A and B are shown apart, each in its own frame.
Chain A
Amino acid sequence: MSVLTKIARRNIWRSKKRSLIIMIAVSIGLWAGIFMIAFYNGMIEQRINSAITSELSHIQLHHAMFRKEYEIKYELPEGKKMLEMISNDPDIKASAGRIIIKGMIASASGSNGITINGVMPKEEHLLTKLPDKIIEGKYFDNHQTNEILISKKISKKLKINLNKKAIVTFQDKEGNLASIAFRVCGIYKTINGPYDDANVFVKINAIDSLAGIPNSLNEIAILLQSNSTLDNNQKKLQQNFPNIEIKNWKEIAPELGLTVSVGNQMAYILMGIILLALAFGIINTMMMSVLERTWEIGMLLALGMNKFKIFVMIVLETIFLILIGCPLGLLLALTTIVVTNHRGIDFSKYTEVYSSFGYKSVIYPSLTMGQFGIIMLLVVFTALFSAIFPAIRALKINPAESLKK
């Protein structure tokens, strides 16, 4: 075996230029593939983190019918007591109660369908850091009641500026139409354009009585200390509140879970395409190498090197060729990921495009150990796949024919 390894290793350097081209191609391909996966990861992680910390939280509690019909009558009458119990759990970082009503916001310039989020200002601050998203004006004042936070998008669309009045209309618990005039105290902007299009925030006590559910809640949102305790905490809550619908973020927004799995699949498919293209390049190079050495391989067969050893020699040669290119590609990829993970890649020029899909314009690429392992397996598979065809070609060489040349 050692003589085969020796021959295979030395054969790589017989055509230095050709081998270097393949090694560089492997390095660049690997770098591009790994970085692309890391970039995709960064995007998905940001989207999920943003969705959890700003929109969904880890877990939400509702009346069993609420999410089906979004009607205010499906309340949590004991909501505030439940919230108090929940907030004492050490696994829970923050929690807040809300009243969620589908309604309409109107100004002199027009109207827009919206979700009215009646929030507890202090708790919401801890849960979703809503004040951090305010770009004009300020967060809710303790002494003012009829204040509303609208998004920049709604502000533009309805031409409602800071301190101006907006009329919010909705159906109360009994199905009667109710309207309230709010003064715009702040204008917010998140990274999620569609979310901004559809959400306004008011204080919970400004809306609960009019909605017909005073001191009640429609929703309790919970932010955990760590996503890793999600399943356990969901189970625990379900045991404590058996008649309440308790859903985690993946169940509330299945499209996000889908984004993760589709994103991973897409990244691996693209990586597969890159490696397949590389494989064909390598197969071509190795085929040329085998055909150029027909005489030599014929001589080895004549001397008594059996077909298995010839096969192994060509396979080893191909694998060495790929594996020499790998460390450089890996080093390049990991360096790029470390640097960009620290600094971020700024796509501010395309903020609107990214925002319309709910993504930030600064991406922080990242790679998990599991993904790294899968990439390594794909590389090994590519090496073996690329090695087989030239090796089979070498086995077809007839020593008597090749020695005539």
Chain B
Amino acid sequence: MKETVIDAHNLSKIYDEKTIPVYALNNVHLHIQRGEFTAIKGPSGSGKTTLLNMIGGLDNPSGGFVEINDTNITALKGNRLIDFRLNNIGFVFQSYNLIPVLTAKENIEFIMLLQNRPKEEREKRVAELLKQIGMEDKVDKRPVELSGGQQQRVAVARALAPKPQFILADEPTANLDSIAAENLLDVMLKLNKEENITFVFSTHDQRVINRARRVITLEDGKIVADTAPTKIEHLLYEK
């Protein structure tokens, strides 16, 4: 039996409610199971980032609610919500993902430090992830000394380090060239398979869409399609 990790019920986000209401999200229902590799696509302004922000507890919906493993995160406020994010959700942003004054190793370790995990556990996990993302030789490099692709791989490793319930990635390949984007996707797919981590992306990038197990299409704040890519597309793009 599959386990539901993300359960979004009737999610709406309305801007300028009192004047001319603009629906960023309009009555969205979404259920994501553990281990899914899901892409949310759609044109600019379709509500992809808004949906991700709601799922991640970064923004409050105007209507509806989000449950993560049966916890209604829409009802959580302040530091309780921040602590929930810390212990359950991993984030990968589009760019400038890392803390500029920390090294690659320190960035990966950062969330575990906030969680007060023991030093041995942190070091073991960081070493494991550095190996998985193929960056053992860049341990002491600061973000400014890394390429965009390397920075995103460190960001994925940081998100994965505390073994969260799922990872939300907002257009993670948007600023990467095709090789770096492919490398990043390889790393994420590998981690998805090996650690059964749930990934949810928002993306415009056809390469990401093609390699996703499930593709959700948003238009004008509504889900207009929710499909898996064809077997032929998988065979073409998945390595």
Q: Which A residues fall within an 8 A CB radius of B?
A: 3, 6-7, 10-11, 14, 295-296, 299-309, 399-400, 403-404
Contacts and interface: CB of A to CB of B under 8 A. Distances in A.
A54 to B, nearest CB: 62
B23 interface: no
A3 B91 contact: no
B79 A302 contact: no
A289 to B, nearest CB: 12
Interface stretch (B81-89, B188-196, B211-219): B81-89
B107 to A, nearest CB: 10
B82 A6 contact: no
A10 B180 CA distance: 29
Given A309-B114, A399-B58, A302 B100 contact: no
Contacts of A3: 106, 110, 113-114
Interface string B90-103: 01010011011110
Given A10-B101, A304-B82, A307-B82, 7 more contacts: A301-B82, A302-B56, A302-B85, A303-B110, A304-B114, A305-B86, A400-B53
A404 B49 contact: yes
Contacts of B93: 299, 302, 403
18 contacts: A3-B110, A7-B99, A10-B102, A14-B100, A296-B99, A299-B99, A303-B85, A303-B114, A304-B82, A306-B79, A306-B86, A307-B78, A307-B82, A308-B79, A399-B58, A400-B58, A403-B93, A403-B170
Interface in B116-172: 158, 170
Nearest to B142: A10
B82 A306 contact: yes
A400 B51 CA distance: 11
Contacts of A303: 85-86, 91, 110-111, 114, 158
Contacts of B101: 6-7, 10-11, 14
A327 to B, nearest CB: 23
A304 B99 contact: no
A308 B83 CA distance: 12
Contacts of A302: 56, 58, 85, 91, 93
A308 B82 CA distance: 11
Contacts of A400: 53, 58-59
Nearest to A304: B86
Of B58, B86, B106, the most chain A CB neighbours within 10 A belong to B58
A304 B85 contact: yes
B97 A299 contact: yes
Contacts of B102: 6-7, 10
A2 to B, nearest CB: 8
Contacts of A307: 78-79, 82
A254 B91 CA distance: 71
Nearest to B164: A304
Contact of A295 (B56, B59, B78, B96): B96
Contacts of A300: 99
A300 B86 CA distance: 10
Contacts of B86: 303-306
